[in-house]
Amino acid sequence: MQGPGGKDQKRQWDETYKQKEFFGSEPSELGQRALQIFKQRGVRKVLELGCGQGRDTWLFLRNGLSVTALDYSETGVCYMRDRSEELCLDKDFVIEMQDARKGIPLPDASFDAVYSHMFFTMELTESEVAAIMEECRRVLRPGGLNMYSVRNFHDPHYGKFTPRGEDMYENPMGFVVHFFDEAKIRRLSSGYEIEWIREFDDTSPPFVKKLYEVMLRKV
Ligand SMILES: C[S@@+](CC[C@H](N)C(=O)[O-])C[C@H]1O[C@@H](n2cnc3c(N)ncnc32)[C@H](O)[C@@H]1O
């Protein structure tokens, strides 16, 4: 789908993932923190939204978690299928090509945790994010965790380049990014308890980004 006047974002990701490991091959810092928390909280089944090329997916699988991953990029999903076999990580792994705006086609209360790194910060309006948050809540078991990251107003790209509505801006690489403040995160947490919202730097390529790490618990 194409935003007002902007580049088609699905096509943008499809093109990007023709190049291997756009975000690098190492797990993200958020993914490493998530793994520790998931171990402490007894999480076994994880749903990952916007998995990209799997830098955090492989970390979770290598550490014994079962992962179902969704992404709308066809090249990304094909890469994930092939790579999971090459890495012999295809046993507890399911990958689906799905635009999350069309819902999450998975059963109620079937996951211990939902994880996403820089997914909600894509070209999604606040009402689309709210609908996906509700879908996450539906597929989580009672007490399940929804851990995610979004770029925030302290990010070097906030307010720069081409405005694309709400707090979204299209950068010169052609990616539309939605920036969040704490008030928006709180508005989007209905039906969850907010365990924390904390700022961190993501130092992975191609440049340092300022994000909020958010931990929600289904009530
Ligand atoms: C910034 S990338 C992050 C990738 C990965 N989480 C990582 O950190 O390496 C955002 C991902 O969200 C996916 N995405 C964006 N909008 C989507 C949508 N509406 N439904 C499903 N996936 C989407 C993109 O294809 C892309 O892989």
Q: Please report, for the chain, the start and end positions of each structural domain, with discontinuous segments joined by +.
A: 9-17+27-218
Over residues 160-201, the pLDDT tens digits come to: 999 999 999 999 999 999 999 999 999 999 999 999 999 999
Question: Which atom, in ligand 1's list, is nearest to the CA of 17?
Answer: 27
Q: Report the C-alpha gap between 149 and 76 in whole angstroms.
A: 20
Cα–Cα distances in Å, from 206 out to 28, 67, 154, 173, 209?
Answer: 13, 26, 17, 11, 9
Q: What is the CATH number of domain 9-17+27-218?
A: 3.40.50.150
Residue 202 near ligand 1, beta carbon < 6 Å: no
Helices marked H in 17-110: 29-40, 55-62, 74-86
Ligand 1 pocket, residue 28 CB under 6 Å = yes
54 lines ligand 1 (CB under 6 A): no
- Distance from C-alpha of 85 to C-alpha of 65, rounded to nearest angstrom: 16
Q: At 1, is the pLDDT very low, low, confident or very high (cuts 50, 70, 90)?
A: very low
- Checking if the pLDDT of 58 tops 60, the result is yes
All residues at 6 or more sequence positions from 142 whose CB lies less than 8 Å from its CB, including other chains: 109, 218
CA separation, residue 125 to residues 17, 100, 176, 187 (Å)? 24, 12, 11, 13
Q: What would the pLDDT profile of 9-35 be if each residue is shown by its tens digit?
A: 999 999 999 987 888 889 999 999 999
Query: Could you give the angle at the alpha carbon of 47 between the alpha carbons of 42 and 51, nearest 5°?
Result: 125
Q: How many CB atoms lie within 10 A of CB 49?
A: 22
Are the C-beta atoms of residues 147 and 192 closer than 8 Å to each other? no
